[in-house]
Amino acid sequence: MLLLPTVQRNFSANATGLAIFTLLSLGTFTAGVHLLSWQVCLLGLIMALGIRVLAWVENSALFLLLIAAAVLGFVAVVWWHWRERREPSRPRLS
């Protein structure tokens, strides 16, 4: 039903993908309940949590990129200072 043209007019491509992934995780969880398999139930729960993570990353990708750049800059400065401290002082040739 999600892929019918009348429904597609109301949903974006991202919303349709997340809705299909939600149905897939719900089906996986239900299959685990019917099979009495805790591993399959856990997989369904992980998939359901993954939907939330995917939606959050999609909405805040620029923010995550900014955080990654700041961490990378901090690591580069710390590494540079650490390297300067470890090198023995070399005599300068004049």
The domain total for the chain is 1
For residue 45, which of 27, 19, 20 has the smallest C-alpha distance? Answer: 27
Sequence-distant (≥ 6) Cβ neighbours of residue 54 within 8 angstroms: 18, 21
Domain assignment of residue 74, yes or no = yes
Domain assignment of residue 92, yes or no = no
Domain assignment of residue 93, yes or no = no
Domain assignment of residue 94, yes or no = no
Sequence-distant (≥ 6) Cβ neighbours of residue 21 within 8 angstroms: 47, 50, 51, 54
Domain assignment of residue 38, yes or no = yes
pTM of the model: 0.60
Domain assignment of residue 31, yes or no = yes
Domain assignment of residue 18, yes or no = yes
pLDDT for 79 equals 93
pLDDT for 94 equals 60
The per-residue pLDDT string of the chain (94 residues; one tens digit each, 9 = 90 and over) reads: 888 888 888 988 888 888 899 999 999 999 999 989 999 999 999 999 998 888 888 889 889 899 999 999 999 999 999 888 877 666 666 6
Q: Domain limits at 50?
A: 5-86
